[in-house]
Structure formats: C-alpha cells, structure tokens
A and B are shown apart, each in its own frame.
Chain A
Amino acid sequence: MDETVYLRLRHRIRVNPGSSVLLSHIAQIIAPGHLEEILPRIPIHQITEEDRDTVVVDMMQIISCIRHYAPSAAISQIGPSEAIIEVAIKKRNLPVLFFILIWILLFLGSALAIINFHEDVGMQAAQEKIYYLITGIHDDTPLVFQIPYSLGLGAGMVIFFNHVFKKRFNEEPSPLEVEIFNYQQDIDQYILLNENKESIKHFDHR
C-alpha cells in the first residue's frame, strides 16, 4: 500500500501565545486514508515564553515528529523546507499622541526638505527664467507658475505611489507596497537562517 505523504509547509503562520502548533497548522497535507486521521493532529511545537515572538520550524524536525506517530510514512516534501511561526503577542497600540507627533515630524521635515532642495538647485532663478521664456515678462515671483508647480509637486508624489487617499488608478501594487514586501522577504530570510539553530553550527571549540 502506498504510504507516501505529501507535505507543503506554509511560509508564515500566526498563532496565539501558549498554543500548541499542529501539523495541520503548519503544512498542507495529502496522505493516504489511514494516515489522514492522525497526521493533522500531530503536535509539532509547543509555544512557550522562551520562544518570544518568532520560531522557525524546519522539515527535519517535522519528519522526526511524524516518525513518532506514523513510522511507516514516506514523506515527500513540496516547496519550502522551513516555516516561520509568529507568536501573536499583543501588539502595542500606537497612542494617538505618538502618531500625531510623528505626523508633524514628517510634515515639517518634508516641508523643510523641499525648501532646501529648491534653494540648492536654484529653483527660483530657474522658474523666473522659464516664466520669462514663456511670457517674456521678468518677474521675481512668478506666482502664476509657482502655485500650480507647488500643487503639482503633491500630485506627482501621489501618482508615483499610486495612492489617492487609498483609491487606486489600477490594480497593480504600488512601488511602496512592493518595497515593503521585499523588505519583509529579506527579514524572513534572515529569520530563517538565524533563528533556526540547526542552520548555523560551529564545530570549532576555541
């Protein structure tokens, strides 16, 4: 009788503190009839205080757990060989005051940054020149040009990030979302290597 069990680990799961992680939580399973009952209920890991917020479980550990309950199963792994368990420690709620302070920081900071940028590149002289080239009028403060310019500045940023206060031009993810995804991906990669004690071993005892 075929004893092959197909396992595909999930990339990242979130569990409550103190819970027991079962095989069905951590992987998708395809198994022959008589194993279908036991396999999903095999405990893989018990979340303790020491685990803090992330635990990495790898295939070797899972196989040895399965061996306990179903010694004859032939395990065939599909996809990633490690899974990240994220312990849902109660997220600290960002107090509104804190948020307002950060908002003001970003607001004033970017206002200062744009003024610095304009001074740096000699924006006023350039705008005067463009204004003169278009209309033939010399004006130190070509507001007809500068006010639309200032509004356009905001529009350009919004277009780039593809966010009109959450409304989208199209379905594609914005560069920012992609950037955040990449960043998360890098962090996951780091966690997989560094939280898993089996990945890095030192055999030199000096």
Chain B
Amino acid sequence: MTIVKEMFAAFCGLGGGLVAGCGYVAFLTVLGIVPRLVQLSKTAKFIQYYEWAVVLGVLSGTWWGLGDAGGRLPLFVAAPAGLFCGVFVGMLAAALTEVINVIPIFSKRIGMDRRLISALMAIVIGKVAGSLFQWLYFVYH
C-alpha cells in the first residue's frame, strides 16, 4: 500500500513540476528578458545556450535549494552573486512595468513626454533606495 501511495505522490510531484516549469518559461517569454539581452549584446547565435542556462538555473535552484548543504565558498563570492540576482530581478521589474504599459499612458496624460527619462530614473532610484532601506533598516525593526 505504501508503494502505491508513494508512486501517487511522485506522480503528483511530477505533474506539479511540469506545470510550474511551463508557467515559469511562459512568464519569462512574455516578459522578453532573454530577447532583450540578446538584442543588447548581439549574440543571437547563442540563444540555445541561454535557454539551457535558464533550465539549468531552475533545476539547480530546485535541487540545491531543497537540500540543506552549506557551501564552502569564500565570502566575497556572495557579492557578485547578489549583484547578478539583483540585475535579474531589476530586469524582471522593468519588463513588468513595460508589459502593463503604464509609462506611455502615464507620460502622455500628464504631458511629461520630454521628462520621461527623469521619471524613469525616479522609478529606478526608488527601487534601489527601497531595497537598501529594507535590508539596512526595515528588517531590524
């Protein structure tokens, strides 16, 4: 009986993973972060490797994150890792703002066409400041 239960659990897990994986890829595709990076760096020929980078990232995040093994890497490795994570989330946030199309409408409504970049910078600097505020102050209170 246990084996049936466990097989059922495994089956559920597989199904759940399948759907979550599809959802993740769909989400990433809609936001168009990979095409954006390819366009900026003009490296369209490596696009397949980028796909694999995403897939491997998800897989290792899952496996590695589910376990409880601490790493042995020196402290300074954490800084670039944090930077890359931040850039990714930043692009995610930017893409999200763009997908919901707020900025064109907003700038048109208030007649701020010319000051668009400084409005954009308000958002960017706001994000950085908010994040720093959270980690340096907010979490301690």
Contact = CB atoms under 8 A, between A and B. Distances in A.
Nearest to B72: A136
Q: Kindly name the residue among A91, A143, A161 whose own CB sees the greatest number of chain B CB atoms within 10 A.
A: A161
A152 B83 contact: yes
Interface residues on B, range: 35 or more
Given A111-B127, A129-B65, A176-B103, A150 B132 contact: yes
A153 B126 CA distance: 10
A191 B64 CA distance: 56
Contacts of B139: 124, 140-141
A159 B130 CA distance: 19
Interface stretch (B18-26, B50-58, B74-82): B74-82
Contacts of B104: 176, 179-180, 182-183
Nearest to A136: B70
A112 to B, nearest CB: 7
Interface string A135-155: 111001111111111111111
A109 to B, nearest CB: 7
Q: Which 4 A-B pairs have the closest CB atoms?
A: A156-B90, A152-B86, A111-B130, A136-B70
Interface of B: 32-33, 36-37, 39-40, 42, 64-65, 69-95, 98, 101, 103-105, 107-108, 110-112, 115-136, 138-140
30 contacts: A92-B111, A94-B110, A106-B123, A111-B127, A111-B129, A113-B127, A113-B130, A114-B126, A115-B131, A133-B71, A134-B77, A135-B70, A135-B72, A136-B73, A137-B70, A143-B135, A147-B82, A148-B86, A149-B89, A150-B86, A154-B86, A156-B88, A156-B90, A157-B94, A157-B123, A157-B127, A165-B121, A176-B98, A176-B116, A179-B104
